[in-house]
Amino acid sequence: MTTATTPTPVRLPAGRRSWRGRSGNAAGAGQGQASPLAKGVVVFIAILWIVPVIGVLITSLRPKDDANRDGWWNVFHEPHLTFQNYSDAISKAHLGQAFVNSFAIALPATFIPILIAAFAAYAFAFMRFPGRDALFILIVSMLVVPNYVAFVPLLQLYGHFHMVGKFPSVWLAHIGFGMSLAIYILRNYMSTLPIEVLESAKIDGATHFQTFWRLIVPMSVPALAAFAIFQFIWVWNDLLTALVFIGPGDSQPLTVAVSQLIGQQQQGWQLVTAGGFFSMIVPIIVFLSLQRFFVRGLTAGSVKG
């Protein structure tokens, strides 16, 4: 889930009926008039999608012996539940520390690129300067470059500066990797803002710096929020960058910690599932509470290399 072809900004038409629904034709399959078959298929797929997660959730709440003896569906006739696995995962498997580390990695790696990208997007949208179009084309072409290119050279560079294993190594990497998409989304959004507002600010004697902070940033909140959520979840879920630049140890984020836990299967299913579910909680909460922005972020631009 990391990406933007020239993300055809798909606009979500608020309140518009579906193509089926608008006509109420002979086929009669308008909104709310699904045939039993269609309904059945959707319900079936939804169940198929959610059952694996429920299985993990239930197993993570079963006592160790139950969880490793038989499948989670047996919980209905041996209903013993416990939070012991979570406290074991958090303290014994060090997931508590990893949880804090994940925030320490994801928050700066979300907000710093937004700040940098917003300034650049402002310049690309509202200022005229030689080389502007060429530079922007460069940024568009960088959208699809895979971050693999960075690992070998940057490991060497970080080695010189003793940065391997420290938070700034991943912050800076995520700033670099997320930058082109951030500029792309924000610039496209800003160029839809009414230019008259800017011109009147200029006449009133506002500098670019003032216009940026007092006008453009507040007006761009939807795009800023969309990208922020997108980038936060992307960094939170990232395994490869963290594995390469930080690796297992005191500074490891949740993804690295849980992947270690999966590797040591003898710890038992109760711990693996607790760790797995624990790592999903934050993205799920972010998604469910900020769904609107999240979907907008996806539709506004979804191809990142």
3-state percent breakdown (helix, strand, coil) of the chain, nearest 5 = 70, 0, 30
92 HSE (CA, 13 A, CB side): 12
Selected binder of another protein within 195, 200, 284, 289 (CB under 8 A):
284
Pick out residues in 245-264 that bind another protein (CB under 8 A): 254-255, 258-259, 262
What are phi and psi for residue 25, nearest 5 degrees?
Answer: -85, -170
38 HSE (CA, 13 A, CB side): 8
Closer CB to another protein, residue 31 or residue 200?
A: 31
Selected binder of another protein within 140, 193, 201, 206 (CB under 8 A):
140
Q: Confirm or reject binding of residue 286 to another protein (CB under 8 A).
A: yes
Pick out residues in 59-88 that bind another protein (CB under 8 A): 59, 67-71, 73-74
Q: Confirm or reject binding of residue 29 to another protein (CB under 8 A).
A: yes
Of 55-63, 81-89, 198-206, 216-224, which part binds another protein (CB under 8 A)? 55-63
Question: With contacts defined by CB under 8 A, how many residues of the chain interact with another protein?
Answer: 143
Using CA of residue 292, residue 141, residue 143, residue 212, what is the dihedral sign? negative
What's the closest the beta carbon of residue 155 comes to another protein, in angstroms?
8
Selected binder of another protein within 63, 64, 163, 167 (CB under 8 A):
167
Of 25-33, 80-88, 193-201, 217-225, which part binds another protein (CB under 8 A)? 25-33
* DSSP sequence for 38-63: HHHHHHHHHHHHHHHHHHHHHHHTS-
Widest CA span in the chain = 75
Tokens of 292: 């609107």
Nearest residue to 6 (alpha-carbon basis) of 178, 188, 135: 188
Selected binder of another protein within 63, 165, 168, 248 (CB under 8 A):
168
What's the closest the beta carbon of residue 200 comes to another protein, in angstroms?
19
What's the closest the beta carbon of residue 103 comes to another protein, in angstroms?
6
Of 75-83, 84-92, 220-228, 269-277, which part binds another protein (CB under 8 A)? 269-277
Nearest residue to 251 (alpha-carbon basis) of 183, 153, 141, 171: 171
Selected binder of another protein within 94, 113, 158, 216 (CB under 8 A):
113
Question: Helix 291-300 crosses helix 269-289 at what angle (to 10 degrees)?
Answer: 80
**What's the per-residue H, E or C state across 258-295?**
HHHHHHCHHHCHHHHHHHHHHHHHHHHHHHHHCHHHHH
Q: Confirm or reject binding of residue 215 to another protein (CB under 8 A).
A: no
Instruction: In whole angstroms, give the CA distance from residue 109 to residue 234.
Output: 10
Tokens of 20: 């089926």
- Sequence-distant (6+) residues with CB within 8 A of 204 are none
Selected binder of another protein within 36, 79, 153, 205 (CB under 8 A):
153
Residues 185-204, one symbol each (x = binds another protein by CB under 8 A, - = not), give ------x-------------
What's the closest the beta carbon of residue 98 comes to another protein, in angstroms?
11
Q: Could you identify the residue written with the tokens 């937004």? A: 114
Q: Confirm or reject binding of residue 161 to another protein (CB under 8 A).
A: no
Closer CB to another protein, residue 74 or residue 82?
A: 74
Q: Confirm or reject binding of residue 137 to another protein (CB under 8 A).
A: yes
